[in-house]
Chain A
Amino acid sequence: MSTEIGVWIAALLTLAIYSFLYKDNPFYKVAENIFVGVSAGYWAVILWFNYAWPNLFEPLIMRGSVIYLIPIIVGLMMFAPLIPRVSWLIRIPLTFTMGVAMALVILQRIQGEIFPQLQATFLPLSGVSPMQLISNLLIIFGVLSTLVYFYFSKAHRGVLGVFAKLGIWFMMVAFGASFGYTVMARISLLIGRVYFLLHNWLQLI
């Protein structure tokens, strides 16, 4: 069994969280609130040392670059709702960030996603092995039928209906795969904690 205080703290906090599996209790609530507290404190410190000081305040205060006043003042406007008379000023940082972010959404979704993904869907149907041909056809029909399923401007009847149904099947396989992977992810996290308890704390393995 470990003799390190840090390992013991971590182990007891781990067990406090797991006590929730029996039922909600004060140990769990204490651990939960410690988590929120240390996480928020961590964010503030890291943001200051990794970004706010070297990229905003240091150039302004130590080197006198007044241009940095702009992002600082606009950023401080986030606190405007605290003064009701000027609360509308919060819209300035919101619209500024939305403007820049949405512009990049338009550019990059087209350049980085729609074009390359379209290109990857135009797959060869000749000069490939029979198995590859089936796979390529399935990808092409799968993409088209999934798109058809989300096309709501016309009733899903006739050929459109068949395609929409095909789209559902493709999506069901994809959702099933996602479920399988989700199970895998959750179990991995549990294994990680049990490994910590058995290896680092109890030193059984």
Chain B
Amino acid sequence: MKQTIPLIIVFTFGFFVIIAFFIPLRVFQDASQTFETWYTGVIAFFVFIGIFNIIKVNVNKIQRKLSDWQYSIILLFFLAFMMGAGFIGGPEGGVFDYLFEHMQIPLGATMFSLLAFFVASAAFRAFRARTPEATLLLIAAVIVMIGRVPIGYYIWKGFPNLVEWIMSVPNTAAKRGILFGADLGLISMALRVLLGIERSYMGGGRE
């Protein structure tokens, strides 16, 4: 039962959505719409469980006094503060908006901007023409890096057009080839899931 019921669910709902696509009758479209709406509702709980897990992991860290447990207090405090601000004051205006604008945006933006420095360091240390293939990669990268910014246009007016050609011809060709391969793999994986051959996403356990 623990295995069969879930497999019946994945098969039934999956093939219903596929069949409904080919039958333009109202009743099939309405049923599809209902299932898709339910899906969206269930997905909302995936986010809630994610937040629940963040709380659980950090409470556990504090209770066991694991390394850097003090920082977990900060994390939980700000999580509670943000939720309190939102649920009491509403999502618009007030403290919730203020925290979003003056803490979440700058922190998120800065966190990812750190990578600029590491990309520069990697360009110096690792971007080397050791083989003909690597040389080709390097040349394409340098042309795009220079040709895509205003200084490229300033150096040579033809640079932007050269980059545009690289992007729309060799880049498009390779990306399209990869895309076909990925799509065929994805579709076969989806079929395996619907037919119950692929079950790893259901989690471990013998049953």
In the assembled complex, B98 has its CB within 8 A of some CB on chain A:
yes
Asked whether B173 lies within 8 Å of A139 as measured between CB atoms, the reply is yes
Contact of A169 among B101, B133, B169, B191 (CB under 8 A): B133
> Would you give the 0/1 interface string for B166-186, flagging 1 where the beta carbon is closer than 8 Å to chain A?
111111111111111101001
Asked whether A95 lies within 8 Å of B202 as measured between CB atoms, the reply is yes
**A186 and B110 in contact (CB under 8 A), knowing A96-B42, A167-B177?**
no
Contact of B187 among A71, A94, A109, A169 (CB under 8 A): A109
Asked whether B171 lies within 8 Å of A177 as measured between CB atoms, the reply is yes
In the assembled complex, A110 has its CB within 8 A of some CB on chain B:
yes
In the assembled complex, A79 has its CB within 8 A of some CB on chain B:
yes
Could you tell me the distance in whole angstroms from the C-beta of A100 to the nearest C-beta in chain B? Answer: 5
**A45 and B40 in contact (CB under 8 A), knowing A90-B203, A94-B202, A192-B109?**
no
> Would you give the 0/1 interface string for B90-128, flagging 1 where the beta carbon is closer than 8 Å to chain A?
110000101111111111111111111101000100010
Asked whether A171 lies within 8 Å of B42 as measured between CB atoms, the reply is no
What CA separation (Å) do A14 and B112 show in the bound complex? Answer: 11
Bin chain B's interface residue count: 35 or more
In the assembled complex, A17 has its CB within 8 A of some CB on chain B:
yes
> Interface size on A (CB < 8 Å)?
110
Contact of B110 among A18, A39, A149 (CB under 8 A): A18
Could you tell me the distance in whole angstroms from the C-beta of A175 to the nearest C-beta in chain B? Answer: 5
Asked whether A177 lies within 8 Å of B42 as measured between CB atoms, the reply is no
Contact of A110 among B44, B75, B187, B194 (CB under 8 A): B187
Q: Which residues of B contact A149 (CB under 8 A)?
A: 177
Contact of B82 among A38, A94, A178 (CB under 8 A): A38
Contact of A102 among B109, B193, B205 (CB under 8 A): B193
Asked whether A97 lies within 8 Å of B43 as measured between CB atoms, the reply is yes
Could you tell me the distance in whole angstroms from the C-beta of B162 to the nearest C-beta in chain A? Answer: 11
**A100 and B141 in contact (CB under 8 A), knowing A41-B83, A138-B170?**
no
Asked whether B14 lies within 8 Å of A107 as measured between CB atoms, the reply is no
> Would you give the 0/1 interface string for A103-127, flagging 1 where the beta carbon is closer than 8 Å to chain B?
1111101100110010011000000
Q: Which residues of A contact B144 (CB under 8 A)?
A: 176-177, 179-181
Q: Which residues of A contact B190 (CB under 8 A)?
A: 102-103, 105-106
Q: B144's closest neighbor in chain A, by CB?
A: A180
> Would you give the 0/1 interface string for B2-38, flagging 1 where the beta carbon is closer than 8 Å to chain A?
1001110111111111100100000000000001111
In the assembled complex, A76 has its CB within 8 A of some CB on chain B:
yes
**6 nearest A-B residue pairs (beta carbon):** A142-B173, A146-B177, A41-B82, A176-B140, A45-B86, A180-B144
Chain B residues engaging chain A, CB cutoff 8 angstroms:
2, 5-7, 9-18, 21, 35-52, 54, 68, 71-72, 74-83, 85-87, 90-91, 96, 98-117, 119, 123, 127, 133-134, 136-145, 148-149, 165-181, 183, 186-187, 189-191, 193-194, 201-203, 205, 207
Chain A residues engaging chain B, CB cutoff 8 angstroms:
6-7, 9-11, 13-14, 17-18, 20-21, 29-52, 55-56, 68, 70-72, 74-76, 78-79, 88, 90-107, 109-110, 113-114, 117, 120-121, 135, 138-147, 149-150, 167-184, 186-187, 189-190, 192-193, 196
Can you list 13 A-B pairs with a CB-CB distance of less than 8 A? Answer: A37-B75, A38-B82, A41-B78, A42-B100, A45-B85, A47-B47, A55-B40, A74-B38, A96-B10, A103-B18, A179-B144, A180-B141, A187-B116
